[in-house]
A and B are shown apart, each in its own frame.
Chain A
């Protein structure tokens, strides 16, 4: 197990290195990175001086080396617009995004899994028939639209909850529901499919034939085996969740890293955009390491084997 975790962490480091290389390459797409880092209308001599201070007049491989070395020391560059280290700016906002993300993910799991399992067990029954259109429509609703509709109904019409702000439970509810919605539908759908897949298997028939109580068949046999694909989909969905964070934070004026990235684009503060991408990816990569470790716990058959193929 320890070796398994070590290898997965090593793979994660390789992926993060790849991502930072990609980010480095993207920042060079425009030709002049300095133009992306300073407010419009900055005098050319200031830009020239910056180019020199940042080492942008060095050969590319040397710039790349400095970039990586900086990352290793936790230096993600400096925001010249806000005159602060980019990493610090991102870390200041990260707790808000984490709060929103955890609330949404918890909500999606807490509602999605039972819904999908109930639909799968009672295949063709009323729960199933009611759940299917809900899942299909839920999966087709872009989260930014869900958010606007919620504001329209809950905040504007009913005047129940605030449409923006942060810091209290009341302000968390709408953004969390918005962000959870899509994942909820996806998780419910996949949980249903996973349960159906397991119900068809021989061991279920055997268990039933030897007289195991129906409830026990579901709880002890089916759910245990269905858990693996459900965990997979749920974690893969964290990536979608992180994507949804940007639009959701924008709609509800939630002060997380998604809104930070948008503000940074508007103020031409590319270093911060870059830092958000790197931190966001690191979070996601760590989440998938955790999933793979969870696999080992859920399913002892999974050994160190190449999980990525």
Chain B
């Protein structure tokens, strides 16, 4: 739907923070990545091991399995270990979904911008249509049909979040296709496919990368939201969203269950957003 005016300016004008916030964000994101990759080595306990005598213990309780630094949940599982393993679901889903939506959206936008005319008009109308469906509602409709799972979460996010890339790639391709090096390549006999891949894509890629980095944070939130609603990653696989949903049942008795998973989501998203802003400022200051 046509609710776009000119591109919005970067936020980080004027006041320069003393610590480069991009680096801070990268450090946060890297920690999450390390947690996800090294989960079996980093987690103090198994994320599935239930110690029923140690149910709902507050943070820093000592127990048979060692110290429960962030407490235990309703089944006596170590919250810290589940958080560390939860980084996996979060980052796997976010990473795959960004890859799927980025690749498909960029391709659609490039084709629409390159051929313009009727194909372009139809494609971009389709982009507007998908953009105007409130995302979570669409995701719910798809999950209701396909059933919840990690793969379907990726599918849903990938299939619903591509239009932003298409918009950006469309605009960039329109600008690039008339440039002299494209004309020259065409004069030398390059076919459309080769032109798009070798000459237009390198011009479109920086903008797509900017959108992608800004989308990572959103994807993490969406995965958590779906899992929170029971429509995403299914138990017993640890996911930050489903841990929060679990913590919701113990709000009056075990504050830590609804606190730490949210903190993990917030920090990771903050990290991703800071990196996104930094990449945007460097590569393409004209995209919001």
Contacts and interface: CB of A to CB of B under 8 A. Distances in A.
A241 B45 CA distance: 38
A15 B129 contact: yes
A135 B124 CA distance: 33
A124 interface: yes
Contacts of B267: 140
A280 B140 CA distance: 12
Contacts of A128: 14-15
A229 interface: yes
A246 B261 CA distance: 20
B140 A273 contact: yes
A247 B244 CA distance: 12
* Interface of A, helix, strand, loop or mixed by DSSP: helix
Given A148-B258, A265-B231, A291-B3, A280 B134 contact: yes
A1 interface: no
Interface string B5-23: 1101111011101000000
A163 B135 CA distance: 26
Given A15-B128, A142-B265, A243-B134, A193 B11 contact: yes
Given A144-B244, A265-B140, A30 B145 contact: yes
A245 to B, nearest CB: 8
Given A277-B141, A308-B2, A145 B262 contact: yes
A18 B125 contact: yes
A285 interface: yes
Interface stretch (A42-50, A149-157, A166-174): A149-157
Interface stretch (B36-44, B66-74, B179-187, B245-253): B245-253
B273 A140 contact: yes
How big is chain A's contact interface, by range?
35 or more
Interface residues of B, number: 60
A26 B273 contact: no
A96 interface: no
Interface stretch (A53-61, A76-84, A209-217, A232-240): A232-240
Given A19-B132, A142-B266, A246-B137, A229 B15 contact: no
B229 A247 contact: yes
Contacts of A135: 11
Nearest to B141: A277
A56 to B, nearest CB: 15
Interface in B203-262: 217, 221, 224-225, 228-229, 231, 241, 244, 247-248, 251-252, 255, 258-259, 261-262
Contacts of A189: 11
Contacts, number: 202
A142 B229 contact: no
Contact of B248 (A148, A233, A284): A148
Contacts of A14: 125, 129
B129 A19 contact: yes
Nearest to B7: A229
B130 interface: yes
Interface of A: 8, 11-12, 14-15, 18-19, 22-23, 26-27, 29-30, 36, 123-124, 128-129, 132, 135-137, 139-142, 144-145, 148-149, 151-152, 156, 163, 189-190, 192-194, 196-197, 228-229, 232-233, 235-236, 239, 242-244, 246-247, 250-251, 261-262, 264-265, 270, 273-274, 276-277, 280-281, 284-285, 288-289, 291-292, 295, 306-309
19 contacts: A15-B132, A30-B145, A124-B14, A132-B17, A140-B267, A141-B266, A142-B265, A145-B261, A148-B262, A152-B251, A152-B255, A196-B13, A196-B14, A236-B3, A247-B229, A273-B141, A274-B141, A277-B133, A289-B1
Given A15-B132, A196-B9, 5 more contacts: A124-B15, A194-B9, A242-B137, A246-B140, A276-B140
Interface of B: 1-6, 8-11, 13-15, 17, 124-126, 128-130, 132-138, 140-146, 171, 217, 221, 224-225, 228-229, 231, 241, 244, 247-248, 251-252, 255, 258-259, 261-262, 265-267, 269-270, 273-274
